[in-house]
Amino acid sequence: MKLTKINYNTFIKVSIFLFCFFLTGFFCSAVSAKQTSSKHSNKIEYFFWNKIAKRSAIQAWKMMGHKPLPKNSIVLTSAGYSVIDGHTTEACLDGLRRFTGSSSGKGTLISVHRKRNSPLWFFFYDKKTGYGVYCEINSTLLSSTLSCLDSFSSKEISNKFTEIPVGAFYNILCIERINADYMLSNLEEWNDNFSDEIFGGNEFSIVTIANIIEKNAPYDLIRSAMFHDHLCPGLTSGYLLANYIEEHFPIDQSSKYFYFSLPPWCKDDAIQILLNTTPGKRSYAVTYLTQEDKDRLKGEYRNIAGIFFRKNDNGIWEGSVLEFDFDLAREMMNIDWNGMYWWESRLLMDIGFLPYLETPEIFISELKRFFLEEGVEPKDFARPGVDVLEEFGLVE
């Protein structure tokens, strides 16, 4: 069963319903004389977001035909990131935990990184059946309600919520089977699903994160994917690089890392999350390489991933030039990068990397190690006009 974006006729019906809703006083009324305290307002808004989460969970269970057991429940959402007319949405997370049994502590309640003006959506997944329901809330309805929310009691909100028809409450409502085995056995169907954006453009985020949770991926990889907003082979390469660095270049709490990304790709989001090296902490630099820059590289540096620096006890920075061999990974996993659907190859590699997360040496090699002179720091090479490839001896 599939319900996608509301069509024109539904739009007309929804518009009429919302107009009538305004007229009957669910929203702000000029004659309303209620005065509410800040404490009441905060309590009512918290209740409101919990109610949004509960209604969506119930709707998903209705479409699934059952309520998944907590051990089989995975929930993904933009709640916590989406902001509706200045109102943050993190209270939905408590409602989702309470009503579904999923939780951040179990690694099954996932707030996916989104920009603040993104729609509020939920995805409810049942590991046992492989089916999931995507619910994208009608932002117009939310905005209208929030503008006068503190004029109403919890009971009034509960009563009125039951009056809102499904077509008015959601912009998109869709159920699909997303477990990896099914998707990879039904390639054309799922390629059409991606093209049709059945989950409002969030398809790749949802299917990659949900599937690695189902396959018991470590939480720090899931956490990296939450920040990156999806899992892909590029992000996993960053996870492997971080594991490699911690194993071969350990530091204590008083020491520090600096990473010079040459060139940047998805890995950089994982490295920032896992090693806490960020531009804001002056411990991360990025240099984009043009094709001309790549052509200048010495042959042994064609797979360069970047340069990790560690500040040693004597204050001297030690650098290590590392490479990541994607060609080897694709060969090991039988991936035809140019002969598969774009999402198919990436999903296969997401799963294919999982057995190798603790053996990064298979794909990562150290190409060169060196020391900076006393008083020189890695960030000195991130200044405008500095040819870092030349300075680090990476070009002919």
Question: Do 310 and 208 lie in a common domain?
Answer: no
pTM above 0.95, yes or no: no
Question: Do 178 and 53 lie in a common domain?
Answer: yes
- Hey, what are 376's tokens? 């020189």
pLDDT tens for 241-269 read 999 999 999 888 777 999 999 999 999 99
Asked if omega into 378 is within 30° of 0 (cis), the reply is no
Q: What angle (nearest 5°) sits at the alpha carbon of residue 71, between those of residues 67 and 74?
A: 70
Q: Which of 111, 128, 120, 110 is nearest to 67 (CA)?
A: 128
Distance of CA 124 to CAs 134, 177, 205, 231, 347, Å?
7, 11, 14, 18, 20
CATH code: domain of residue 188: 3.30.1330.20
Instruction: Please say which residue of 216, 248, 272 terminates a domain.
Output: 216
End-to-end CA distance of the chain: 59
Question: Do 181 and 289 lie in a common domain?
Answer: no
- Full DSSP string of 86-114: TEE-THHHHHHHHHH---TTTT-EEE---
* Spatial separation of the C-alpha atoms in residues 353 and 58, rounded to whole Å: 35
Place of tokens 């305290």: 37
Query: Does residue 366 carry a pLDDT above 80?
Result: yes
Query: Does residue 15 carry a pLDDT above 70?
Result: no
In a domain, 31, yes or no: no
Those residues whose C-beta lies under 8 Å from the C-beta of residue 179, and which sit 6 or more positions away, are 127, 130, 211, 214
pLDDT tens for 27-70 read 454 434 344 455 546 888 999 999 999 999 999 999 999 999 99
pLDDT tens for 257-304 read 999 999 999 999 999 999 999 999 999 999 999 999 999 999 999 999
CATH code: domain of residue 246: 3.30.1330.130
Residue length of the chain: 396
Instruction: Please say which residue of 163, 185, 216 terminates a domain.
Output: 216
What is the percent of the chain where pLDDT is above 70?
89
Tally of CB atoms within 10 A around 215: 13
Question: Do 255 and 384 lie in a common domain?
Answer: yes
In this structure, the dihedral spanned by the alpha carbons of residues 11, 17, 18 and 20, taken in order and rounded to 10 degrees, is 150
pLDDT tens for 122-137 read 999 999 999 999 999 9
Question: Do 174 and 232 lie in a common domain?
Answer: no
Q: Which domain holds residue 133?
A: 8-25+37-216
